[in-house]
Amino acid sequence: MKIYIITIKSMINKVSYVVANWELTISNKGEKPHKNPNKLDWNQNSRRCFINGCSNKVYKTKMSGLCKDHEYHQFDLLLSLLDPSGVNHSIPAHHDMINCLMDWSSTRNFPLSPFFEKLSFAILGNVPDISSLSGEVTYEKYKVKELNEIFESSKKVVEQFFPESNNSSFQPLSTKKGDIPVIVLAHVLMSLIVCEEANRGDRWHCRTIRKDESKTTQLGGAMPIVYFAARSFNWGVEMKNVARNFTPN
Ligand SMILES: [Zn+2]
């Protein structure tokens, strides 16, 4: 007799919000889920795959705790952007947006380092990986935050540096994908950092579940911040184009 196991497909809640009449939506629309970098069986206690509903056996020594079917995340967060007329707008590359922000800030005595530092503190290590966010992996003593809670706290950082009450926040910047107001660009960048952290990061798992952040192996959402850091550092050589290699492909 064949036994069929039906697993209920886990869910990722969609997050949508409007800034200066532009609509940002973060949802599970990505097409390339990444390998799950977490060592779910870090204490090597389990012989079963850690994905809920999967009964596949896994070697006790395999620290990922994931069977062959589940080595990759099943979800991939993607950001989409609608302009004020409701038309889908292409998202500029990370380095393009950061170049625009740096050019803009240099003309108005607005240092960007504190903004990127606050984004780093607020996001890196605080965003669960996508398999934990979707509920495919659950933890006995820990309730995983919802995606919208994470966005509520990350949005506050952008609002602090690019307030809606300040006219200059609405200045359009010329990206390679067309003009976008600086306040929207800052929210897009923050949202991409959250998505990268969930799609590729392992810092949250190391910090929160393993209680040892030094075990982190992935840059995750740090990648765009690394580009800013590389361009801000006084190298003594021209780095503008080369620093792009630090950003995700
Ligand atoms: Zn499995």
Locus of tokens 């850091």: 229
- Tell me the CA–centroid distance for residue 68 and ligand 1, in Å: 7
Q: Is 153 a member of any domain?
A: yes
Helix axes 182-200, 222-232, angle to 10 degrees: 120
Smallest Cα–Cα separation from 180: which of 110, 108, 76, 99?
99
- Tell me the CA–centroid distance for residue 186 and ligand 1, in Å: 38
Q: Is 109 a member of any domain?
A: yes
Using the 8-state DSSP alphabet, how is residue 59 labeled?
-
pLDDT of residue 10: 65
Q: Is 234 a member of any domain?
A: yes
Q: Is 106 a member of any domain?
A: yes
Q: What is the pLDDT of residues 78-89, one digit of tens each?
A: 999 999 999 999
Q: Is 38 a member of any domain?
A: no
- Tell me the CA–centroid distance for residue 226 and ligand 1, in Å: 34
Tell me the mean pLDDT in the region 15-34. Answer: 93
- Tell me the CA–centroid distance for residue 144 and ligand 1, in Å: 20
pLDDT of residue 209: 96
Q: Is the pLDDT of residue 54 over 70?
A: yes
Tell me the mean pLDDT in the region 179-198. Answer: 97
Q: What CA dihedral angle connects 234, 237, 238 and 241, to 10 degrees?
A: -80
DSSP string for 103-134: HHHHTTT--SHHHHHHHHHHHTTTS--HHHHT
Tell which phi-psi region holds residue 195, choosing left (phi > 0), alpha (psi between -120 and 50) or beta. alpha
Whole-model pTM: value is 0.92
- Tell me the CA–centroid distance for residue 44 and ligand 1, in Å: 16
- Tell me the CA–centroid distance for residue 143 and ligand 1, in Å: 21
Q: Is 33 a member of any domain?
A: no
Structural domain containing residue 172: 15-26+91-246
Q: Is 108 a member of any domain?
A: yes
Q: Is the pLDDT of residue 136 over 70?
A: yes
pLDDT band at residue 9 under the 50/70/90 scheme: low
pLDDT of residue 6: 46
- Tell me the CA–centroid distance for residue 63 and ligand 1, in Å: 13
pLDDT of residue 95: 92
CA within 13 Å, CB half, 185: 28
pLDDT of residue 249: 63
Please, are residues 29 and 80 in contact by the beta-carbon 8 Å criterion? yes
Tell me the mean pLDDT in the region 183-201. Answer: 97
pLDDT of residue 3: 52
Tokens standing for residue 59: 């070697």
- Tell me the CA–centroid distance for residue 211 and ligand 1, in Å: 24
Q: What is the pLDDT of residues 81-126, one digit of tens each?
A: 999 999 999 999 999 999 999 999 998 888 999 999 999 999 999 9
Q: Is 86 a member of any domain?
A: no
**Beta strand ranges found along the chain (DSSP E):** 15-19, 22-27, 78-82, 88-89, 172-175, 178-181
Per the structure, the count of domains in the chain is 1
- Tell me the CA–centroid distance for residue 137 and ligand 1, in Å: 10
* Cβ atoms within 10 Å of 165's Cβ, excluding its own: 6
